[in-house]
Structure 1
Amino acid sequence: MNASQSPPVLVLGGGPVGQTTALLLARWAVPVVLLDQRPRRDPVGSKAICQQRDVLDVWNAVGAGRRIADEGVTWTTARTFYRDRELFGYSFQERGSPAFPPFVNLSQARTEEILDERIAAEPLIDVRWDHRVTGIEQDGAGVRLRCDTPEGTATVEGCWAVACAGARGDAVRRMLGVEFAGRSFDDRFLICDIRTDLPDWAEERRFYFDPAWNPGRQVLIHPCPDSTFRIDWQVPAGYDLDAEEACGALDERIRAIIGERPYEIVWKSVYRFHSRLVDRMRAGRVLLAGDCAHLVSPFGARGLNSGVQDAENAAWKIAFVVHGWAGERLLDSYHDERHAAAVENLEVTGTTMRFLVPGDEQERQRRTAILERAAHDRTAWAEVDSGRLSEPYWYARSPLTTPSAARPPACRPERGRTPRPGPGVLVPDAPVSVPGRGTTRFRELARDGVLLLACGGVDQTEVRAAATGIAAPVRCLDLAAIDRAGALGEALSAGPGELWVIRPDAHVAAVLTHPDRTAVLCALRKLLAASPAQPMRSGAERPASTS
């Protein structure tokens, strides 16, 4: 059966992660039913504002990345202050020639509107608002959801499901029988979206430790479109926003930062941070993604960005299973890879929160000593933790990755830099030229299926012969033929005799040196979670993209 005629994949939750999942599945010609318990979209507040470069690449694959980037505010510098003194600032560096800036700030509400427009243009996505899931049943044939709707109880059936029900998806997690262990932090954070004129701050992120206008606590300032600035204050556990606003203290708080210039509060809220993670991200035929699977503090912008990376990981794997290009074992790797990514994000953000909110007097004294020393000793800068900003997870130890002795996993580079490419790492981007397609981007090319990139000295006849034993869409391209300017080869640090095996999410699955047919086939089978003896039909074609 053609995938577009098969039962749909059910996506629970219409936030950015659910929207992205639906769009990516449709791009693979897989029908989707997207359900949300709300009656309509709620376009209020900035919420998640910080979109990372590699996430913009994912959205670009479904026709939204360029619009989000163009409408948002680009910032390339992160500056950190202690009291009234700047400690350091750094700019972001990337291998190759990326299509997008390091970070773009745009309100979650506007991002959702742009994704909604793409969904409305996609005939394979059926959106159903006002559907609250009250029951989940599944067996070897599919998933059945019982939903409360304005018309009564409805049953929605599909072959697989992705739960993107958000932080408040307790009912969905309970129905799936997954645990959501972790902790909540006592300190609150006040957010205000303020429209005012601060031209010198329009292209940088500012983080303040212990400023005079919020003593003993932190403040984070992000630029947003339309002369709007998102300001986060750390406030005490008993903070009362209504009381502060009524007595005029909120105005004083804002003016302590912006001075006497006119301003307008566009949105305000108080929230607390959580660090939580489900015990498993695959529950039978249901994959959990985004805040439904993991919650992290926002310092470092690892919430929405990691959720979109969940969506891409889930979408290509479900699509490959639905099309018959891979077996169901491939979906086990979704938990392996994205749970490990969530663990790393929790560790990174947990370390940040311990620095921002010391647990005892000893931790507080240690932080003060580091900040005092950093004011005159740059060797202490690395110990100042205002949040390591979002970056893609490396699948170096994934069961789908073939290790390379010549390119072993490295330690994380310093802030603002990217790793040397190798197995598990997201490939750098660069312009390439492909016969019949013209000039395009390498990551766009990679996301059309499995890509074999051959450097000089590789026997491409052997490579192509190995690929015929794989059901999935596999292309073999010559690096020199598509990279005439040499930018991609330089960014990869590609060597003679290397064959790069690249996944449909643009991560490197293997780097093989002078491989024979057997080595190539083994790497491809490993990428698709196929056992060495498992037969795989050949000749399958990738369905035409609908984006």
Structure 2
Amino acid sequence: MDPVIIVGAGPVGLTLALALARQEVPSVVLDEGPGKDEQRLARTVVLREDTAALVERLTGLPLTDAGFHWAGWRSMRRKQVMREIDFAARASAMDLPDFEADAHGSGGAALGAGSGAHGAVGGAQAFGGGTHGSGSSAQRSRGSARDPKGSAQSLKSAGLGPTTDAQDSEGADVPAPLHLAQHALTGALREAIIHERLIKVAVGSRLDSIEQESSGVTAHTRGPNGTWWRGSYLVGCDGPRSTVRKLQDIRFPGRTAVERYAVAALRTELPWPGQALLHRMPPWRTSGPSSGEVTARPLADDVWRLDWLLPPGKDLVTPDLLVARIRETLAGWNAGSTPPYELLDTGVHTVHHRLARRWRAGRVFLAGDAAHLLGVLGTQGLDEGLRDADNLAWKLALAWHHGPLEALLDSYQAERRAVVAARLRAADQALPLLRSGGGLRSYVPGSARGHDALLTDGHLGRGPLGAPGVYADSPLAPAHTESETPVDTAPGAPVVDVRVTAEDGSFVQLRERLGRGVLLVVLIAPGTGVWARKHWVTAGIMPRLAAAVTALPHRAELLVAESYPGAAAHTVLLVRPDGHLVTALSGVRPADLYAAAETTLGGPATAEAEAEAEAETAASTT
């Protein structure tokens, strides 16, 4: 069968190619560029826990061991850090073009390059943040937020009252996001692809036409390597100006220039080493009109990315204005003394909100920024793009191996578009409250707490602005049965990464078993962790459950966990290949387990098509 054609070699396209390869599906990645990425320190990405785990699983590279920084957020009172340092000013000229967002993460804008500079004295105020292993106590302040326990904590609320360890609204710990330069991410993905026999990357290949019929897709590229490419399916991961989307005549409505940010990457020392920072209402702003909040994100090698929210309009951000912002901000965080800094990269990041009308047109799909644009209030477009790839990969793999499976393929748009649309609605509803500076929140008691929480939800990866999507209304959701039992994970939500015993008796994390195109069946059996698998694999309910798993309409792996949040003993979890919970059953219920698995694969027709394909394969090999 022909490979899957992936148009675009950004993080989403490369992630999709690797995810397909892990499921034995070949792909061709059409890269209109030279096959490497410009190193831009001001172009960064923010990965939540689940998407960071996806990248680590696909690349085999622990991102936290590669010089990248986990950075969390937490509320604080302003803690002045007094420094008796005074440095002379020396700034070089910079070019600051206003580029539109091109794709990824917390500032996927193509940013203008800057030359080195060193800071001078200015007056301002401080705010803080947090990284992995840098835990220290902190106080809170109106208008500032940070988390000094960044590897596993998040902001509970900003600006009011004391906090302890950061938790979400229900009291559960929320792992903090990972901040890194985009070229570091794409470099890790490209390095992994070099060793993949099932992935071909065609550089200098710009798409200019698509033809599809019932049996496949043909794409033509122009350029030095212009040619025709034949594929089983085609996925457009080619960014906000997607050629794939335009060739399929898919509308891309939304809002233009929702917000703009001035961006700078610099090497310096801040009072909170390696900690992500959010300052909602800095008291300085002598460099121009009121600019709202400023954020800082730590990267490797003492490099920071700073973003200043710009006032509405298209006022030119001049080099002098940006240098003034840098100086006053650094001085504010250092009690009036600007530390020395080296300016590495600059630019203006413009945020748009758009959502494609359709994400599927026959054998052609859209993913990432080709399908959606978002990015205000800490929402992360790259996060959603990687989730697109994870969702689509296992469905394409099943269709590639076993037949068209139309209901399964249709579910990609139904699930992913609904999640992103909800994220965009939440941002659009929150923006008037958060940016008005008055209105309702001026009159409602306690409204500032909700205001600050909304502001940080997207940054923290929680709530409607930032938490991983739940496919509650998915067409793949099975019907309710009396054997269902509640656990702390809602059906359709990502499962918790608990330790499990694999079929070979080894202890692994549940997430390590994802992304291989198989269903996971997890039995909750307290006490099994202290015994070798051989002692209990043939005892109690295990033989009956193992037989039920073997009889499922698709390959499944049986795992055993000592515990799972909210699950009673002998609870059986059915988990999709992308890590979302299908259902939790009370005990071994072979018929209900089979029905749930069948629905997860798109319904009975899917199971029949898979059986027919397997029969044809068996016949061809005899």
More off after superposition, 401-410 vs 495-504: 401-410
Match of 1:140 among 214, 225, 234: 214
- Residues 1:91 and 1:113: Cα distance change in structure 2 (over 3 Å): farther
Q: Does 1:12 align with 2:12?
A: no
- Tell me the SS of whatever aligns to 1:191: strand
Correspondence for 2:253:
181
Paired with 1:148 and 1:217, the residues of 2 have a C-alpha distance of 45
Q: By how many angstroms is 1:83 displaced? A: 5.1
Q: Does 1:473 align with 2:555?
A: yes
Q: Is the 8 A contact 2:42 2:264 kept in 1?
A: no
Paired with 2:356 and 2:483, the residues of 1 have a C-alpha distance of 32
Correspondence for 1:451:
520
- Residues 1:101 and 1:514: Cα distance change in structure 2 (over 3 Å): closer
Identity percentage of aligned residues: 27
- Tell me the SS of whatever aligns to 2:50: helix
CA RMSD for the aligned pairs?
3.4
Correspondence for 2:91:
none
Q: Does 1:62 align with 2:74?
A: no
Paired with 1:444 and 1:91, the residues of 2 have a C-alpha distance of 27
Match of 1:52 among 44, 48, 53: 48
- Tell me the SS of whatever aligns to 1:200: coil
Q: Is the 8 A contact 1:64 1:114 kept in 2?
A: no
Matches within 5 A, 1:299-378: 299-324=377-402, 327-358=405-436, 364-367=438-441
- Residues 1:540 and 1:82: Cα distance change in structure 2 (over 3 Å): farther
- Tell me the SS of whatever aligns to 1:188: strand
Correspondence for 1:415:
none
Q: Does 1:393 align with 2:469?
A: yes
CA deviations on 1:235-289 (whole Å, 9 max, x unpaired) are: 232332335359x645545544454211111111112211110111111111211
More off after superposition, 135-144 vs 324-333: 324-333
Correspondence for 1:427:
495
Correspondence for 2:317:
241
- Tell me the SS of whatever aligns to 1:299: helix
Paired with 1:425 and 1:49, the residues of 2 have a C-alpha distance of 23
Match of 1:193 among 256, 265, 274: 265
User: What amino acid does structure 2 have at the position aligned with 1:506?
Assistant: G
Paired with 2:505 and 2:428, the residues of 1 have a C-alpha distance of 45
Q: By how many angstroms is 1:446 displaced? A: 4.0
Paired with 1:409 and 1:312, the residues of 2 have a C-alpha distance of 27
- Residues 1:501 and 1:83: Cα distance change in structure 2 (over 3 Å): closer
Match of 1:218 among 254, 276, 293: 293
TM-score (structure 2 length as normaliser):
0.74
User: What amino acid does structure 2 have at the position aligned with 1:156?
Assistant: W
Matches within 5 A, 1:225-236: 225-236=300-311
Q: By how many angstroms is 1:348 displaced? A: 2.6
User: What amino acid does structure 2 have at the position aligned with 1:425?
Assistant: A
- Tell me the SS of whatever aligns to 2:431: helix
Q: Is the 8 A contact 1:25 1:32 kept in 2?
A: yes
Q: Is the 8 A contact 1:396 1:403 kept in 2?
A: no
- Tell me the SS of whatever aligns to 2:272: helix
User: What amino acid does structure 2 have at the position aligned with 1:440?
Assistant: V
Paired with 1:322 and 1:309, the residues of 2 have a C-alpha distance of 20
Q: By how many angstroms is 1:392 displaced? A: 1.3
Q: Is the 8 A contact 1:48 1:304 kept in 2?
A: no
- Residues 1:180 and 1:70: Cα distance change in structure 2 (over 3 Å): same
- Tell me the SS of whatever aligns to 1:334: helix
User: What amino acid does structure 1 have at the position aligned with 2:316?
Assistant: D
Q: Does 1:205 align with 2:301?
A: no
Correspondence for 1:416:
none
Paired with 1:241 and 1:364, the residues of 2 have a C-alpha distance of 27
- Tell me the SS of whatever aligns to 1:180: coil
- Residues 1:186 and 1:394: Cα distance change in structure 2 (over 3 Å): closer
Q: Does 1:272 align with 2:272?
A: no
Paired with 2:9 and 2:601, the residues of 1 have a C-alpha distance of 29
Correspondence for 2:367:
289
Paired with 1:434 and 1:51, the residues of 2 have a C-alpha distance of 28
Q: Unaligned 5+ residue runs, structure 1?
A: 1-5, 411-418, 542-547
Paired with 2:595 and 2:65, the residues of 1 have a C-alpha distance of 39
Q: Is the 8 A contact 1:57 1:65 kept in 2?
A: no
Paired with 1:177 and 1:458, the residues of 2 have a C-alpha distance of 58
Match of 2:596 among 506, 516, 523: 523
Paired with 1:387 and 1:367, the residues of 2 have a C-alpha distance of 20
Match of 1:37 among 32, 37, 41: 32
Paired with 1:255 and 1:75, the residues of 2 have a C-alpha distance of 19
More off after superposition, 61-70 vs 297-306: 61-70
- Residues 1:218 and 1:58: Cα distance change in structure 2 (over 3 Å): same
- Tell me the SS of whatever aligns to 1:156: strand
- Tell me the SS of whatever aligns to 1:239: coil
Structure with the greater alpha carbon radius of gyration: 2
Q: Is the 8 A contact 1:136 1:143 kept in 2?
A: yes
- Residues 1:422 and 1:165: Cα distance change in structure 2 (over 3 Å): same
Paired with 1:187 and 1:139, the residues of 2 have a C-alpha distance of 41
Q: Is the 8 A contact 1:300 1:349 kept in 2?
A: no
User: What amino acid does structure 1 have at the position aligned with 2:368?
Assistant: G
- Tell me the SS of whatever aligns to 1:138: strand
- Tell me the SS of whatever aligns to 2:584: strand
Paired with 1:451 and 1:84, the residues of 2 have a C-alpha distance of 43
- Residues 1:26 and 1:234: Cα distance change in structure 2 (over 3 Å): same
Paired with 2:483 and 2:592, the residues of 1 have a C-alpha distance of 17
